[in-house]
Amino acid sequence: MNLHHYIQVYAVQIKNNFVREAVYRTNFLTALTVDIIWIGVEISLFSVLYSNTTTLAGWTQAQAYFFLGIFFASDALFTVFFQRNFWNFSDLVNKGELDILLTKPIHPLFLALTRSINITSVFNIFLGLGITAHFAHDAGFKGGMHWFGVGFWLLIGLLSATLLRFTFSIWVFWTDRSWALSRLYYQFFSFATKPDTLYPKAIRYLILSVLPFAFIGSVPARALLYGLSLNEYFLVFFVLISFFMINSFLWKFGLKKYQSASS
């Protein structure tokens, strides 16, 4: 199968998802409400903190909101394209539903991770970008051509979240359920909701290397506001490549462990 076929299959998946979302219209409104409340809670938390101080580890209030905007947009991208698929990943292995995907003339992982698209959350990408744009000037973002950098760093955020979520999900081949690991992912995910410079050295090292949650929003926001050093660019590249290779290895190893419907 070549790239053209993959694009064709993906176009069909998008069409199917549009039909599904059109059927459940109430779901659109409720999901939207949940996301807006979540964004509201995160902004409220920072507002309360900044009512007691002017800067937080060097971040002014406007810079913290700029970071939140980038983080929300990056997370919304992940929600649109991958979140539901990862929630269903456990069932694929446990209930043997992966059998069907393995028989198709296309990479089974591609099918597993592209089946569900959460079109509702597209709104949140714009909401995040709106927050970013609103606080960009006060935060010291240079603007102009630098807005192209926003797109690039959002893709880095999406890639990081996908690789991390995969690392937390793949263990379902060895464990009975991956529910707790998924929950653990979301527990660690809260590290991504704060700028990485806030963290003490040990935790900061952790979220910039072994568990690179800082790549979802914090590093992109820092890169856009201040730029990164060459070492930091190398770190981002090296960590993401490493995660990709480890995940590829675990996937192959997991497939060998997979026992079809009785797994």
Partner 1 sequence: MKLQWRLAALKNGFREATAYRIEFLFEIVGSAFVPAATQFVLWYALFQTGGASQIAGLSYSEMLHYTFVSLLFSQVRGGDHDFELQEMIRSGQLSNSLLRPVGVVEFIYLRGVAPRLFIAAFCLALGMIFSIYLGFSPMRLLGAMFLALIGNIIHYQIGAALSTTAFLWEEAYSILMVKNMIVNLLSGELIPLNLFPSSLQWIWKSTPFYLYVYGPTQYALGRWTHSEYLLQLGIAMIWIMAASLAIHLTWRLGMKRYLSLGG
Shortest Å distance, C-beta 201 to partner 1: 10
Residue 56 CB, shortest distance to partner 1, in Å, is 5
- Kindly state whether residue 187 participates in binding partner 1, applying the rule CB under 8 A: yes
Instruction: Pick from 8, 16, 27, 248 the residue near partner 1 by CB under 8 A.
Output: 27
Instruction: Compute the least distance from the CB of residue 229 to partner 1, in Å.
Output: 20
Find the binding residues for partner 1 in span 200-229 (CB under 8 A). Answer: 200, 203
Quick note: the x/- pattern for partner 1 over 78-107, rule CB under 8 A, is ------------------------------
248 binds partner 1 (CB under 8 A): no
Q: Which residues of 151-181 are buried (b: 16+ CB within 10 A; e: fewer)?
A: eebbebbbbbbbbbbbbbbbebbeeeebeeb
Number of residues engaging partner 1 in binding (CB under 8 A) = 39
The footprint of partner 1 on residues 126-185 (CB under 8 A) is 175-177, 179-181, 183-184
Contact between 19 and partner 1 (CB under 8 A)?
no
Q: Residues 2, 7, 53, 148: which binds partner 1 (CB under 8 A)? A: 53
Kindly list the residues in this chain that would bind partner 1 in the complex (CB under 8 A): 24, 26-27, 30-31, 33-34, 37-38, 41, 44-45, 48-49, 51-53, 55-58, 175-177, 179-181, 183-184, 187-188, 190-191, 193-194, 198-200, 203
